[in-house]
Amino acid sequence: MTLPIAVLVSGTGSNLQALIDRIGEGVLPARITAVVSNKSDAKGLARAARHGIPAIALPPADYPDRAGHDAALLAAVRDSGAKAVVLAGYMRLLSPDFVAAYRNRILNIHPALLPSFPGMHGQRDAADYGVTIAGATVHFVDEQMDHGPVVIQAAVPACPDDDAASLGARIMTLEHRIYPQAVAWLATGRLAIHGCKTRLAPADAPPADLSDVTPCLVNPPLEAGF
Ligand code: GRF
């Protein structure tokens, strides 16, 4: 069972690279049918091309209005043969028509523990707020921005000296772990949506080794006696 996916990017595409790498390693049963971007100069497009993946630029300025751009985006994704859509740093809200066409088959990754800090600057907003735990969320996409049933979240410590860059780098390490995992769950039919919640069907797989990242549920750490 290999899921054909289209990946939408606007920037660097490091999450795209994580998906490409896990597919190459044979642990993610997916095939990337196209990488589509609203930015012609997105590094993610060049990354796709280097890996022989069709890379399509659809700059909004080439279309008379938002509806026209959204229709072209949907056509490009459909024509690629994708059965699901993976947003990997795609910085535009999808139209209701697009969401309806791929309902419950669109995933997004956001660099904050949703529903906290939605929007363009999740890491910066979390750092500025002074939270002590930050993280990343993979969720199904609905019509609202950074909203929909949560699939997986990962938490990292945040420190008073953190800024968007330092906190973002810590979060990114885990983004690259959890996004391929979430797409693999989608590809193998393990995810079911019940209302606002996602249920994951169990598997026999052993837990991953996370010893190279800082596991954190409570930060600062509790001290003896508590
Ligand atoms: C990531 O932080 C992701 O969570 C957010 O956009 C960023 C994309 O980074 N949605 P990259 O292009 O995958 O490197």
pLDDT tens digits, 129-161: 999 999 999 999 999 999 999 999 989 999 999
Q: Is the pLDDT of residue 38 over 50?
A: yes
> Which residue has tokens 């190279």?
212
Distance between CA atoms of 52 and 35, rounded to whole angstroms?
11
Ligand 1 lined by 135 (C-beta under 6 Å):
no
In this prediction, residue 99 has a pLDDT band, given cuts at 50, 70 and 90, of: very high
- Written as six digits, the tokens of 28 are 């993610």
* Residue 129 pLDDT: 97
Average pLDDT for the chain: 93
In angstroms, what is the span from residue 204 Cα to ligand 1's centroid? 30
State mean pLDDT over 5-16.
98
Half-sphere exposure of 170 (CA within 13 A, CB side): 23
Q: Is the pLDDT of residue 221 over 80?
A: no
Which range (51-60, 66-75, 146-155, 196-205) has the least confidence?
A: 196-205
* Residue 5 pLDDT: 98
State mean pLDDT over 117-137.
96
Half-sphere exposure of 17 (CA within 13 A, CB side): 11
Active site residue 69: no
Ligand 1 lined by 45 (C-beta under 6 Å):
no
In angstroms, what is the span from residue 101 Cα to ligand 1's centroid? 24
Q: Is the pLDDT of residue 220 over 80?
A: no
Higher pLDDT, 77 or 154: 77
Pocket test residue of 32, 90, 108, 109 for ligand 1, highest count of atoms within 8 A of CB: 109
Q: Which spans in the chain are helix H? A: 14-24, 43-50, 66-79, 96-101, 122-129, 164-187
In angstroms, what is the span from residue 13 Cα to ligand 1's centroid? 7
* Residue 218 pLDDT: 42
Percent of the chain at pLDDT > 70 equals 94
